[in-house]
A and B are shown apart, each in its own frame.
Chain A
Amino acid sequence: MNISLNGEQKTISGIHTVTDLLNDLTLIPGSVVVELNNEIIQPDSYDAAVLADQDRIEIIRFVGGG
């Protein structure tokens, strides 16, 4: 299926949920903010958030330091 990830088109396979996508991108679930079709997904819903064709996903990644 095709999704828009941070504004860029991406074809994915074998990825069904937000958790799968974060694993594929090797991102730490706790230190990102995920927006799925303009809605914030809470971390405890990453497993349940199922991706669909043409979804728009924004992932903002935070690294430590301040």
Chain B
Amino acid sequence: MLQVNEQTVPFIKKLSIEDLAKAYKPNADLFILNGFPVSAKTVVQDGDNCVLIRKGAPPAAGEFTALLTARHTPGVHKKIQKVTVAILGLGGLGSAVAGALAKIGIGKMLLSDYDIVEPSNLNRQHYFIDQIGLLKTRALQENLLRMNPLLSLELIEEQLTEKSLPSFFENVDVLVECFDDPEMKAATLRSVLSQMKNVSYIGSSGMAGYADNNTIRTRMLQPGIYIVGDEVSEAGPGQGLMAPRVGIAAHHQANQVLRIILGEEEKRKDEYQS
């Protein structure tokens, strides 16, 4: 058998990688055999892993899902594709959380922010210079779809309040709180605890500056309710928010989403057990 673009296909003797491309990826112009680029005439052996690429061209939808499924193993990817995750605030945390979840092909994301991309955001937030002035929701949507064109995204572009939160998010599986404002952070946790009984929550507190990496932690407050950060490093003069440490916290949050989905953590409901 051969692996061709992460799919298993029958092995045929004396076949060149170019012949394979005719069957599985016409127009391919780059041939990777067992991890190394090779010439088109290279003959493949039983058990080889072949990646056939058309430079710059996006893979077809089915091919892309097959790539992710193969990377994640089928059972894992099926669970990832089923969930809806809300990201509240699309700054340094939210834009990085969304990027990580986009790359693994999360089922659906609700992206919430009412702000625009400003020059001061670019030291840590995943936007580009030419996106200054765009709504963060629109800019992030554009960037995420370049990473994974199959994503399902819903944009929420109004200023949220403690009262309005449940109407937007009570049906999501996991809510990731990435706000900047501590009052909105507190309001979100209150709202989840008192109004959204089935929603798992990953909040954030304390990731400014460049203190020790390992003081950023994920702490369980109660089953399904987690908080990420060192819980003390406040953003302010002399202690700015910077991409590296904010990124550590963001990826704690993203990995916690994954752990909840895959049943590695206590959660608020048992929907993913099957």
Contact = CB atoms under 8 A, between A and B. Distances in A.
A66 B97 CA distance: 11
Is the interface on chain A under 10, 10 to 19, 20 to 34, or 35 or more residues? 10 to 19
Contacts of A33: 186, 189-190, 193
23 contacts: A28-B182, A30-B186, A31-B182, A33-B186, A33-B189, A40-B190, A60-B186, A60-B221, A61-B231, A62-B186, A62-B205, A63-B205, A63-B208, A63-B235, A64-B180, A64-B181, A64-B235, A64-B236, A65-B208, A66-B93, A66-B178, A66-B180, A66-B241
Contacts of B247: none
Given A30-B186, A64-B181, 19 more contacts: A31-B185, A33-B189, A33-B190, A58-B221, A60-B205, A60-B227, A62-B183, A62-B185, A63-B229, A64-B180, A64-B182, A64-B234, A65-B206, A65-B235, A65-B241, A66-B93, A66-B178, A66-B179, A66-B204
Contacts of B190: 33, 40, 42
Interface in B236-270: 236, 241, 246
A30 B91 CA distance: 21
A32 interface: yes
A62 B235 CA distance: 11
Contacts of A62: 182-183, 185-186, 189, 203, 205
Given A33-B193, A40-B194, A66 B91 contact: yes
Is the interface on chain B under 10, 10 to 19, 20 to 34, or 35 or more residues? 20 to 34
B199 to A, nearest CB: 15
Nearest to A40: B194
Interface string B192-217: 01100000000111111000000000
B89 interface: yes
B175 to A, nearest CB: 14
Contacts of A65: 180, 206-208, 233-235, 241, 246
B77 to A, nearest CB: 29
A60 B228 CA distance: 12
B224 to A, nearest CB: 15
Nearest to B232: A63
A16 B189 CA distance: 25
A63 B193 contact: no
Contacts of A66: 89, 91-94, 178-180, 185, 204, 207, 241, 246
